[in-house]
Amino acid sequence: MTITLERPAFDSLRADMRGEVIGPADPGYETARRVHNGMIDKRPAVIARCTGVADVQAALHFGIAHDLPVAVRGGGHNVAGKAVCDDGIVIDLSPMKGMRVLPGERVAQAQAGLTWGEFDRETQAFGLATTGGAISTTGIAGLTLGGGIGWLQRKHGLTCDNLLSADVVLADGRFLRANGAENEDLFWGLRGGGGNFGIVTSFEYRLHPVGRVVGGPVVYPFDAAREVFRFYRDYSAAAPDDLFVEFGMATLPDGQRAVMVFVVYAGPLAAADDVLRPLREFGSPLEDMTATMSYCEVQQAFDADFPDGILNYWKSSNIRELTDDAIETMVAFMAASPSLRPMVIIDQFGGAVARVPDDATAFGHRDAAYDLIIAAIWSAPGEQEAHIDWARRFWEAMQPHASGDVYVNYLSEEGQDRVRDAYGHHYARLVDLKRRYDPHNVFRGNQNIQP
Ligand SMILES: Cc1cc2nc3c(=O)[nH]c(=O)nc-3n(C[C@H](O)[C@H](O)[C@H](O)COP(=O)(O)OP(=O)(O)OC[C@H]3O[C@@H](n4cnc5c(N)ncnc54)[C@H](O)[C@@H]3O)c2cc1C
């Protein structure tokens, strides 16, 4: 059952907003309530599709006045489905796609409804980019507020390290800017503390010159998984900051299981062959697909593996060290996955991420070596039990090798202890900030910091 608001309430919100207001009886409702993860099936009382700050303020005011749970939607990619809620108001920022690049200053001003594909397209028109998510349909908003992991992070830092300023609507409806000179405490919390402190309507990012890159996978037969993993451990540990190396499980077009080392090299092209030679000379790959390509191309390389609406269940942990034991466990679980769709991904940190002082932002895991994403992905609704069970058992088996930390944006619905693990040793400072900016926890439809 969905809570239904009275007609006069809808009419008053419609009168206050420039954007569309969608209720359960409207034809667009079924589409508008859906997010990237097809497992999420929530039924909001109203969806307010905002066109700017005034709409956000009107929708928030309406939600509070009617005592509705509030969810904020950027790109709608959060696997836990935090962009929507049951019986509440969804403040949907996805129509807000304005963007301006200031090439001389190497700055981008971007509204909160943009996706990384849309953002990259504009910055690349000027040969510029900032660290952003690896799937082009992911929203810039949720990703930035949680930290922001991407191919360029070892060279240019996390996405949040490139955030210069944010426009924010607070829980009491006030608008303010947060940056290095104004509301610095809030600016600190926005860089890793998620959407806990307010609704960010626009972000300002530092950009960097990024031309053509060398990217793509080298694919190996699954039988070689152990050796490839060990090679990955050594090669990633020795990588220069210009290089990001990912290990992944892959499925070939003929349905065979395989493993891959995926690289993105964003340094001088003349040096690429030397940097990539150890990988290109290692083992007996099925295929070396590394090639020189545009930054936008590499940013979309995995899009087809994550179609909108596919069923997802993720578990993740930061990993201290890729020991032989850890590798053994991972290979055993990959071999036993219930389907060929799941993605098992290891990402490396270090470089510029580790050089930012720990207390400079709320992102709490500067010392992470690797993270592990166990992404069970399937399409038949009846199969969910087997996939979720596999992901959970895999994650449990990896805990002896895990640091205890997890990236907040990779959390599923996993309980408050795990939320604390995600914010790590900054949790107490984040609680103080939450008490200052959102004492009544209006913004609780997120990985929540409880005031
Ligand atoms: C296929 C896939 C690939 C991914 N790849 C990466 C990756 O490469 N790097 C990485 O770091 N992460 C990645 N992620 C994780 C991603 O960072 C999170 O899913 C993130 O939440 C996505 O942001 P969004 O705006 O699309 O999310 P949404 O689902 O819209 O929102 C996520 C959370 O942020 C809050 N929020 C959203 N917008 C705002 C706002 N403007 N103001 C305040 N709060 C807001 C929401 O309330 C919610 O709690 C990936 C996820 C998926 C599903």
Q: Are the CB atoms for 169 and 56 separated by under 8 Å?
A: yes
Return the percentage of the chain with pLDDT > 90, whole number.
Answer: 92
Give the model's confidence band at 3: pLDDT under 50 very low, under 70 low, under 90 confident, else very high.
low
The answer, yes or no, to whether residue 4 has pLDDT greater than 80, is: no
Predicted pLDDT at 339: 74
For the ranges 17-26, 245-254, 414-423, which has the lowest average pLDDT?
A: 245-254
Phi, psi of 401 (to 5 degrees): -105, -5
User: Rounded to an integer, what distance in angstroms lies between the CA atom of residue 364 and that of residue 362?
Assistant: 6
User: Rounded to an integer, what distance in angstroms lies between the CA atom of residue 405 and that of residue 365?
Assistant: 7
The answer, yes or no, to whether residue 2 has pLDDT greater than 70, is: no
For the ranges 200-204, 251-255, 306-310, 343-347, which has the lowest average pLDDT?
A: 251-255
Q: Which residues are CB-contacts of 432 (< 8 A; sequence separation ≥ 6)?
A: none
Q: How far, in Å, is the centroid of ligand 1 from the Cα of 155?
A: 22
Q: How far, in Å, is the centroid of ligand 1 from the Cα of 138?
A: 6
Per residue in 140-179, pLDDT tens?
999 999 999 999 999 999 999 999 999 999 999 999 999 9
pTM: 0.97
Give the model's confidence band at 436: pLDDT under 50 very low, under 70 low, under 90 confident, else very high.
very high
Predicted pLDDT at 254: 83
The answer, yes or no, to whether residue 1 has pLDDT greater than 60, is: no
Buried b or exposed e, range 191-209, using 16+ CB within 10 angstroms:
bbbbbbbbbbbbbbbbbbe
pLDDT mean over 49-67: 97
Q: Are the CB atoms for 321 and 401 separated by under 8 Å?
A: yes
Indicate whether residue 409 lines ligand 1 (CB < 6 A): yes
The answer, yes or no, to whether residue 18 has pLDDT greater than 70, is: yes
Buried b or exposed e, range 125-145, using 16+ CB within 10 angstroms:
eeebbbbbbbbbbbbbbbbbb
Q: How far, in Å, is the centroid of ligand 1 from the Cα of 170?
A: 19
**335 C-beta neighbours (distance < 10 Å), count:** 11
Q: How far, in Å, is the centroid of ligand 1 from the Cα of 159?
A: 12
What the chain holds in terms of domains, given with CATH numbers, is 7-92 (3.30.43.10), 99-209 (3.30.465.10), 213-410 (3.40.462.20)
Indicate whether residue 166 lines ligand 1 (CB < 6 A): no
- Which atom, in ligand 1's list, is nearest to the CA of 168? 42
Structure tokens at 303: 């899009």
Per residue in 259-280, pLDDT tens?
999 999 999 999 999 999 999 9
- 96-103 contacts: CB < 8 A, separation 24 or more? 96/50, 96/51, 96/52, 96/201, 96/202, 98/202, 101/125, 101/126, 101/128, 101/207, 103/128
Q: Which residues are CB-contacts of 364 (< 8 A; sequence separation ≥ 6)?
A: 192, 358, 405, 422, 423, 424, 425, 426, 427
Per residue in 418-434, pLDDT tens?
999 999 999 999 999 99
Predicted pLDDT at 146: 98
Indicate whether residue 133 lines ligand 1 (CB < 6 A): yes
Predicted pLDDT at 381: 85
Angle between helices 324-335 and 384-398 (to 10 degrees): 170
The answer, yes or no, to whether residue 417 has pLDDT greater than 60, is: yes
